[in-house]
Structure 1
């Protein structure tokens, strides 16, 4: 099978959008990541998968702590800026949470401490302990079929006849 077919098949899985962020010598850096998942409740573990061609690959490979910000639907522009789909035209508002930067007003933010790294094909999987969490009201921004999407309450399966 070719790479395009694989990408198209993976695009059929709707995901949320996160920004993974670090403090790199007192400079906050972030990148858009949709390969994010919960691993375990006890201990509280998450995983993110980073492409070896990603601009922050080296920094993330060597970090011990990072933040994850789960974006709200009105934060789509931030996702595009961190994915380099749009030029940064304003200051990005980070806040410190348990010594790591996270996006201000995100739907949820997690402070993470790297537990393990696993090389998997052309990606690095960071498995991390969650050390702090904040949650805010709102709806998530989604990614499906190569496009940003939102949750539309009128389109829930339970509302269909």
Structure 2
């Protein structure tokens, strides 16, 4: 099968959108990702998948701490910005949570310490132990078939 066919098939799985943030030597770095999964309740573990070509790979390897912000439905602009699809003249103003930069008004923010990294094809999987988290009310930003979508209540 070719890469496009595989990508299209994977796009049939609706996902939420996250922004992964890390701080290295006083500089904040962010990257949009939908490759996020909750792994374990005890201990509390999550996983993010980072392309080997992404700058974020080196940042996570250097700092060993990161945050994951779950984007709300009205945060498409933030998703596009940290995916490199939209350039803003003004620097992004991050909030701080548990000593790390995070996306303001995200539905949830999870702060982690890297406990393991595993090479998997053209990506590296980072398993993070959750150190802190916060949650807010709202609807998630959804991605399906290469487009942003809204979660609609079917009741």
Q: Secondary structure at the match of 2:78?
A: helix
Unaligned runs of 5+ in 2: none
**How far, CA to CA, are the matches of 2:2 and 2:21 in structure 1?**
32
Matches for 1:140-159 after TM superposition, within 5 Å: 140-153=140-153, 156=154, 159=155
Structure 1 residue ranges without an equivalent (≥5): none
What are the within-5 Å matches in structure 2 for residues 69-148 of structure 1? 69-148=69-148
**CA distance in structure 2 between the partners assigned to 1:58 and 1:64 by the alignment:** 10
Aligned to 2:117, the other structure's residue is in SS state strand
Query: For the residues of structure 2 that align with 1:141 and 1:130, how far apart are their CA atoms?
Result: 22
How far the C-alpha of 1:28 sits from its partner, in A, is: 1.1
Which digits, 9 at most, give the CA deviation of each residue in 1:99-127, with x for residues without a partner?
A: 22111111100111001000000000000
Query: What's the TM-score once normalised by structure 1's chain length?
Result: 0.92
Q: How many residues align?
A: 155
Secondary structure of the residue that 1:74 maps to in structure 2? coil
Whether 2:17 is the aligned partner of 1:34: answer: no
**Which has the larger displacement, 54-63 or 106-115?**
54-63
The residue that corresponds to 1:47 in the other structure is: 47
Per-residue deviation, residues 1-53 of structure 1 (Å, max 9, x unmatched): 11111101110000000000011111111000100000001100000000011
Tell me the distance in 2 between the aligned counterparts of 1:62 and 1:3. 31
Give the CA RMSD over aligned residues: 1.1
Task: Indicate if the aligned counterparts of 1:66 and 1:112 stay in contact, CA closer than 8 A.
Answer: yes
1:71, 1:140 within 8 Å by CA — same for their partners in 2?
yes
Q: Which has the larger radius of gyration?
A: 1
Residue 57 of structure 1 and its aligned partner are, at CA, apart by: 1.9
- Cα distance in 2 for partners of 1:123, 1:76 equals 25
Query: Structure 2 length normalisation: TM-score?
Result: 0.95
Q: Which aligned segments of 4 or more residues in structure 1 are displaced greater than 6 angstroms?
A: none
- 1: CA distance between counterparts of 2:49 and 2:126? 6
